[in-house]
């Protein structure tokens, strides 16, 4: 296929969305409960990694960065993900703790947009999650200075070997620069695709510690 054909495909390929309404009456009064309802539907829809989300952060000069990661827990207090605290996202969060998560479930024609404040979870929560990870992932957390430049793949592989030897036969402790963050939401939007681009958008905004629901124009 030529580049011209690729571009034609991108430019002209159109599909309509199914007619599956989502309205104010159907939407729970609690957006975390609503996330849970949609999550269960995502789980039974053969979606690859339904817990994957795009996290956006912004550095202190106002420049945004986005990347996919896994939301590993959620509750009334927020959405938890695990990462390296010294990574690019970690340094952004240190400078500016506002962040946004975007969950896209194409098979369900759904998007969830979450804005919130990001804070590290407590050490015991990170320890518990780290201890349950496969050993190879634990070694990886030690060996990877996430987001830093390395010479080549070999450098990473020799660090893996170094930590495999160092921790041989013993439990691997959590590195102090690896752990969880909680994004505590103040705004959550549920988007459901509808025909003719007349999509349903239900927005929840936290006002005086209460969630207030409204509808946005598509
Ligand atoms: C499907 C998928 C899942 C990922 N899950 C995580 C994750 O849970 N934690 C993480 O730190 N990076 C995860 N990554 C890697 C990130 O996208 C990113 O490369 C990494 O966190 C470094 O980002 P940063 O340099 O902006 O900090 C995942 C990537 C993909 C494609």
Atom of ligand 1 nearest to the CA of 89: 27
Is 72 annotated in the active site? Answer: no
Whether the CB-CB separation of 203 and 214 falls below 8 Å is answered with yes
Chain segment 69-125, per-residue pLDDT in tens: 999 999 999 999 999 999 999 999 999 999 999 999 999 999 999 999 999 999 999
Atom of ligand 1 nearest to the CA of 87: 27
Chain segment 49-75, per-residue pLDDT in tens: 999 999 999 999 999 999 999 999 999
Ligand 1, residues 50, 69, 178: which to mutate, most atoms within 8 A of Cβ?
69
Whether the CB-CB separation of 25 and 214 falls below 8 Å is answered with no
> 3-class DSSP state for residue 217?
coil
The rounded distance, in Å, linking the Cα atoms of 99 and 114 is 8
Q: Which CATH class is domain 14-133+177-216?
A: mainly beta
The protein residue whose alpha carbon is closest to atom 7 in ligand 1 is 69
> 3-class DSSP state for residue 106?
helix
Phi, psi of 3, rounded to the nearest 5 degrees: -60, -35
pTM of the prediction?
A: 0.96
Tell me the pLDDT band of 24, cut-offs 50, 70 and 90: very high
% of residues, the chain, pLDDT over 90: 100
Considering 15, 197, 201, 215, which one is annotated as catalytic? 197
Write the burial class of residue 111 (CB in 10 Å: 0-12 exposed, 13-18 middle, 19+ buried).
middle
Ligand 1, residues 53, 83, 99: which to mutate, most atoms within 8 A of Cβ?
83
Largest CA distance in the chain: 60
Atom of ligand 1 nearest to the CA of 49: 1
List residues near ligand 1 (CB under 6 A): 49, 52, 65, 67-70, 81-83, 87-89, 146-147
146 CA distance to ligand 1 centroid (A)? 9
Whether the CB-CB separation of 182 and 80 falls below 8 Å is answered with yes
Among the listed residues 101, 94, 81, the one whose alpha carbon sits nearest the alpha carbon of residue 179: 81
213 CA distance to ligand 1 centroid (A)? 32
């Amino acid at each position: 296929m030529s580049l011209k054909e690729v571009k034609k495909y991108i430019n002209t390929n159109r599909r309509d969305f199914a007619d599956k309404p989502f309205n104010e009456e159907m939407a729970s009064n609690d957006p975390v409960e609503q996330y849970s309802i949609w999550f269960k539907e995502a789980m039974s829809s053969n979606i690859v990694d339904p817990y994957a989300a795009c996290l956006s952060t912004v550095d202190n000069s106002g420049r945004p960065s986005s990347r996919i990661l896994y939301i590993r827990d959620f509750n009334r207090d927020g959405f938890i993900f695990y990462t390296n605290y010294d990574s690019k996202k970690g340094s952004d969060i240190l400078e500016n703790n506002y962040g946004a998560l975007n969950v896209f479930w194409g098979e369900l024609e759904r998007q969830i947009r979450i804005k919130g404040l990001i804070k590290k979870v407590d050490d015991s929560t990170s320890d518990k999650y780290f201890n349950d990870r496969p050993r190879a992932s634990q070694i990886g957390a030690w060996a990877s200075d996430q987001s830093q430049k390395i010479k080549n793949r070999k450098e990473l592989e020799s660090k893996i070997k170094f930590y495999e030897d160092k921790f041989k036969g013993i439990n691997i402790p959590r590195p102090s620069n690896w752990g969880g963050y909680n994004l505590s939401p103040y705004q959550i939007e549920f988007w459901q695709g509808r025909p003719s681009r007349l999509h349903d958008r239900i927005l929840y905004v936290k006002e005086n510690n209460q969630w207030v629901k409204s509808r946005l124009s598509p």
